[in-house]
Amino acid sequence: MAKNPEKMGRIAQIRQTFSMTRKQDPSILWMLPLASVGTLVVFLVAAALLLGAWQYGLLLGIPTALLVGLYLFGNRAEKAAYGAIAGQPGAAAAALNSLRKGWFTTPFVEVTRNQDAVHRVIGRPGIVLVAEAPASRAKPLLATARARTARFAGDAPIHEVICGEGGVKLTKLNRTVMKLPRVLRPAEVTELRRKMDAVQKGPSLPIPRGPMPKGMRMPRPK
């Protein structure tokens, strides 16, 4: 079982993320050094041809090569993290739990026997109900969740998102939620969260664990 990233140091998080990524994407072992070295070589050659001294290429080449390596690592780690949980019940909840500060996720506010579920996210756009099910089964489930939520939501907007067959892909779920129009102030978000948590909490069900990237970025301490 993966350790809690909040209780791990920066190096330990990177090590865990690299190990997980390597299992899902073994090509990262040669891709990272190739991309970094290739970037450095481009700068060295450009400096030699344009300035007549390859040494000048080191000034920009080394930091740029490191940035390219980190970007590639983050991109591959993100794909590997989603690939590790894709298809598992609760995968959408695991992804939503990685949203950055200011978003509050309550998993499984609705759940059926065949493991279709609705997760609730509260943020500046209001309330986002995310159905983790094929679209044909998600719509009635969302209708039930919306009716129950609307009783306590007041004037807060309620959005619906389907994650699964006929809806958004797991890898695009967080981006879809974060692109919703922001209409609430932070204080209103806090009040709405307290109200909804008091009247509608989700059941305690297992959620796939793993080093999910925070806010679609490389994992980092809060």
Total number of residues shown for the chain: 222
Whole-model pTM: value is 0.70
Whether residue 222 is contained in a domain is answered as no
Q: Determine the average pLDDT of the residues in 108-137.
A: 92
Q: What is the distance between the alpha carbons of residues 169 and 159, in angstroms, rounded to a whole number?
A: 17
- The 3-class secondary structure across the chain, one letter per residue, is CCCCHHHCCHHHHHHHHHHHHHHHCCCHHHHHHHHHHHHHHHHHHHHHHHCCCCCHHHHHHHHHHHHHHHHHHHHHHHHHHHHHHCCCCCHHHHHHCCCCCCCEEEEEEEECCCCCEEEEEEECCEEEEEEECCHHHHHHHHHHHHHHHHHHHCCCCEEEEEECCCCECHHHHHHHHHCCCCCCCHHHHHHHHHHHHHHCCCCCCCCCCCCCCHHHCCCCCC
Query: Does residue 207 surpass a pLDDT of 60?
Result: yes
Q: Do 157 and 176 share a domain, yes or no?
A: yes
pLDDT of 210 reads 52
Q: Do 64 and 122 share a domain, yes or no?
A: no
pLDDT of 128 reads 97
Shortest CA distance to 127 belongs to which of 86, 168, 97, 159? 159
Whether residue 132 is contained in a domain is answered as yes
Q: Do 76 and 104 share a domain, yes or no?
A: no
Q: Do 105 and 186 share a domain, yes or no?
A: yes
Query: Does residue 49 surpass a pLDDT of 80?
Result: yes
Q: What is the distance between the alpha carbons of residues 116 and 134, in angstroms, rounded to a whole number?
A: 8
pLDDT of 98 reads 85
Q: Do 72 and 97 share a domain, yes or no?
A: no
pLDDT of 185 reads 93
pLDDT of 115 reads 84
Q: Do 74 and 105 share a domain, yes or no?
A: no
- Cα-based torsion angle of the residue sequence 46, 50, 55, 60 in order, rounded to the nearest 10 degrees: -60
Query: Does residue 32 surpass a pLDDT of 70?
Result: yes
Q: Determine the average pLDDT of the residues in 199-209.
A: 63
Domains: count for the chain: 2
